Amino acid sequence: MSTSDLSLGIEFGSTRIKAALIDSTWKPVASGSYTWQDTQVDGYWSYPLGDAWTGLRESMRSLIDDYRNSAGTAPQIAAAGLSGMMHGYLVFDEHDNLLVPFRTWRNNRTHRASAELSELFQFPVPQRWSVAHLYEAVLNSEDHVPHIRRLTSLAGHVHYTLTGKHVLGLNEASGMFPVDPATLTYDARYVALFDELLEKHGMPYRFLDIMPEVVEHGTGAGTLDEGAIEKFDPTGTVQAGLPFCPPEGDAGTGMIATNSIRPRTANMSAGTSAFAMVVLEKPLAGFHEEIDVFLTPDGKTVAMAHSNNCTSDLNDWVSMLTEASAALGNKVSMNEGFSALLPLALEADADAGGLTVIPYRSGEHLTGFADGVPLFLRSSSARFTPANLMRAHLFSALAAMRIGLDVLREREKATVERITGHGGFFTTPRIGQQLAAAVTGCACSVMETAGEGGSWGMALLASFLKDGGGSLPDYLDRVFADAAVSTVAPDAGDVAGFTAYFARYKAALGAERAAVDAGMNEG
């Protein structure tokens, strides 16, 4: 293997910044990561951008060390790409100064803007989309809004800083503003309508003045600037001029990592958030608040059921239980805790024994919550066992997403026979896969690469650029030609158990509403 055949992918995820290096056979050869956590700033979920740069450098440092330890030499990287959590609000002035702290996808504080834009466009504009954040700030007459000269995503901002190119890939761009699959750029009809709103509110710019250019994959999107090397690689291994592919969203890298970009394919990502995506053969008949519409990285229309909350509450419980174990004299790591506890879910009562979890660390748009309070409920007759606790958490991690899937099936008559899972939910063998099949009601497949994640998917897009572009679906078919896949069909008992659990979950939303209204989400 030539070291110059290496491709690099980096993803700024919700809990980890991860770097992956792959060779010419698309196999991972080195990795690095950095853990970070969002916090609330002025009522908004946010990350300090300084943490993003620290995480990038530390991920690169550990990746390069990992490669040196195995190969005995420094890597010579041929192409790179950046991905990140989608949507949100990052705005800068003419001097590239950040105008307000980063507002992430997790914020559900743009209901008025989302509703007005969806009605105006007759196209679903979710609350977490960047244009909804922008218009909400306009409606609220926030002082910074007239000074905006650049609006972008997290991956787009890092890419801009490293290369000087204000660009995005198709998937990432379509999570900021609707992108026309015919022209592969922002939909001109909606741009014109939004410009009328900006003019009405006296903004000194038009929408396209501040938006990134949309760039197709297989074409270059800039190279690493000499002055940005220290921000990117603290070891000095990487040289200026490194080609970058367009920055993408984590939904796009999930589609790449599961080879789910052809029509009628579907995939599900489950980690901090959960979302199921179906690549459509034809446009939806109508627009639905519960369903997002955006594009694959090569420009095909996707319908997505997205929930803001998935495994964060489960992670907190496992952390607490491992600490309890240590206090009792049996110290275990978080990984050991997950490995010991999650398999218990398969031994549980089918309906989780009367336990109910509402895992809303943040708001949940699919059930109408701007804010959230994690709740654990049990009836006086419930079977309060570790196994039932694990099953309740795993069911609840996907329950809100199921609401969106039901809209696709019942209102759009969409057929989803099989879905490919990836992300943290599926890294423990079989457990997540079996319960996801019960929740979704369709067969759930997992590839041997399910744990590689978005950084690996981004590395594949960088490799696609290195190898000269062409047809992205055909390229991925070569990548996955020999991939091992396991598929689990829904078990009738699990399906019946989830049906009973889902009824309790929806009934418990009244308690969630009371907790939020009582201010229990504060402090």
pLDDT at res. 417 = 76
The predicted pLDDT at position 286 comes to 80
pLDDT digits (tens, 9 = 90+) for 490-513: 999 999 999 999 999 999 999 999
Residue appearing with tokens 């239980």: 321
Question: Other C-beta atoms within 10 Å of 21: how many?
Answer: 27
Q: What domains are there in the chain, each with its CATH number? A: 312-449+491-517 (3.30.420.40)
Query: What is the model's pLDDT at position 1?
Result: 41
> Is residue 3 over pLDDT 60?
no
How confident is residue 452, by pLDDT bands cut at 50, 70 and 90?
A: low
pLDDT at residue 264 is higher than 80? yes
The answer on pLDDT for 2 being more than 70 is no
The 3 state secondary structure assigned to 57-82 is: HHHHHHHHHHHHHHHCCCCCEEEEEE
- Following DSSP, what letter does each residue of 307-340 receive, concatenated? ES-SSHHHHHHHHHHHHHHHHTT----HHHHHHH
Task: Tell me what percent of the residues of the chain surpass a pLDDT of 90.
Answer: 85
The rounded mean pLDDT for the chain is 94
pLDDT category of residue 284 using cuts at 50, 70 and 90: confident
* In the predicted structure, residue 523 carries a pLDDT above the cut 60: no
Q: pTM for this one?
A: 0.86
pLDDT at residue 149 is higher than 70: yes
Model pLDDT, residue 522: 76
Residue 491: HSE in the Cβ half-sphere, 13 Å Cα cutoff: 14
* Residues 6 or more apart in contact with residue 357 via CB below 8 angstroms: 313, 374, 375, 376, 377, 392, 393, 395, 396, 505
Are the C-beta atoms of residues 253 and 193 closer than 8 Å to each other? Answer: no
> Per DSSP, what are the bridge partners of residue 377?
356
Looking at residues 268-279, what average pLDDT do you find? 88
36 has pLDDT over 90: yes
* Phi, psi of 14, rounded to the nearest 5 degrees: -75, -30
Query: Tens of pLDDT along 180-236?
Result: 999 999 999 999 999 999 999 999 999 999 999 999 999 999 999 999 999 999 999
A 10 A CB-CB count for 493 gives: 11
Q: What is the pLDDT of residue 423?
A: 77
pLDDT at 111 exceeding the cut of 70: yes
- Strand 6-12 vs strand 16-22: parallel, antiparallel, or unpaired? antiparallel
What tokens were used for 181? 């699959």
How much of the chain is in helix, strand and coil states, percent to nearest 5? 40, 20, 40
Q: Which residue has the higher pLDDT, 437 or 523?
A: 437
**Residue bearing the bigger pLDDT, 448 or 502:** 502
Q: Give how far Cα 351 sits from Cα of 278, 314, 345, Å.
A: 28, 17, 11
Task: Determine the residue type at 101.
Answer: P
At 486, which helix (H) or strand (E)? strand 485-488
Give per-residue burial for 136-152: e unless 16+ CB within 10 Å, then b: bbbeeeeeebeebbbbb
